Amino acid sequence: MKKLNIAKKFLIQEYITNHKPVNKIAKEFGYGETTIFRYLNKYKIKIRPISEYTKVRMSNPKMNPSYIDGRTNKKYLCKGGCGKEVSADTYLYNGGCCKKCGALRGEKSPHFIDGRSLKEYKCSQCGKEINWQTALYGSGLCVSCVRKGERSNRYIDGRSSKKYYCIEKGCSNEISYGNWRRGKKRCAACAVKELWKDKDRQLKFLFSYLKLKPNKPETLLGNMLNVLFPKEYKFVGDGKVILGGFCPDFINCNGSKKIIEFNGQFWHTKDQYVIDKDKRKLAMYKSLGYKTLVIWEHELSNLEKVKNRIIQFNNK
């Protein structure tokens, strides 16, 4: 096999004098691009960067299809007066300033005309400061004033421009038209007072901060219910359900009005207040139409008996 040998004069003529790229030389003479690069390094010929080749190509009418009159080959200096060179695109189509001069404002800016953009302009209605484009070419109003009254895109008959006041006695606070339209008709302070009159809402709010979780006996009972009646009973002892001011432990979520209460042996037998509260709780559940099964902590020692009680209660 004949050994390949590319002469140094040939590479200087094609690569440097004729400004041909490596891929074009390789294609014309049947060499590989890697081979051309290897011989350029061997003869210590400086390889051109891509940017230099691009300049040569853009300046050649035959190689550049968008060539017109050589305007891209000229040197252009910043119009801002700093003397920095800028690209042809920036000079011809984008103001002609470098980044530093293009960011200048006021009289130093190359776009300065008569100082109209330096003045302060204010809304004709409320006096808030607005930009000069809005003042000279827009409505002359700030964003909030544009949306008020007849200028609003939701304007009908002026109902939103009227003044509305809280309906509570002894309160004269002004409220928004939106609150009045949605039926609240109370200021923020009176609305909170009205909400706190609902005891069930109070308890739900308090339970949400306590973040209660079932204890070990309640977890055992909950697992038993899931095995016996899957997806029928749910633990709500964390305050998710409030009935008449009381929070049940387990409630049937399958349509039946049934509640299962778990009572610990210590608090529910020795504290008289808790005992009386349990009686009121059962009476409240009964008045609301719920059937209640109470399971005591000592009964969990005989799980089979507890299972039978729960099955009988659920089948009623």
Express each pLDDT in 156-176 by its tens digit: 677 777 788 888 888 888 888
Residues 94-105, mean pLDDT to the nearest whole number: 73
Arithmetic mean of pLDDT, 216-222: 89
Specify whether the CB–CB gap between 151 and 164 falls below 8 A: no
User: What residue ranges define each of the domains in the chain, with the CATH number in brackets?
Assistant: 8-59 (no CATH), 76-108 (no CATH), 163-197 (no CATH), 207-314 (3.40.960.10)
pLDDT at 239: 83
199 vs 238, residue with greater confidence:
238
Say what the pLDDT of residue 58 is.
61
d(CA 262, CA 270): 16
Is the pTM higher than 0.75? The answer reads no
Residues 16-31 have pLDDT tens digits of 888 788 888 888 888 8
Q: Which residues contact 18 (CB under 8 A, 6 or more apart)?
A: none
pLDDT-derived band at 1, boundaries 50, 70, 90: very low
- Rounded mean pLDDT of the chain? 81
pLDDT tops 80 at residue 68: no
Measured CA to CA, the distance from residue 72 to residue 67 in angstroms comes to: 8
Cα 86 to Cα 57, 80, 111: the distances in Å are 20, 11, 17
Distance CA(224)–CA(38), nearest Å, equals 80
Highest mean pLDDT among 35-39, 110-114, 143-147: 35-39
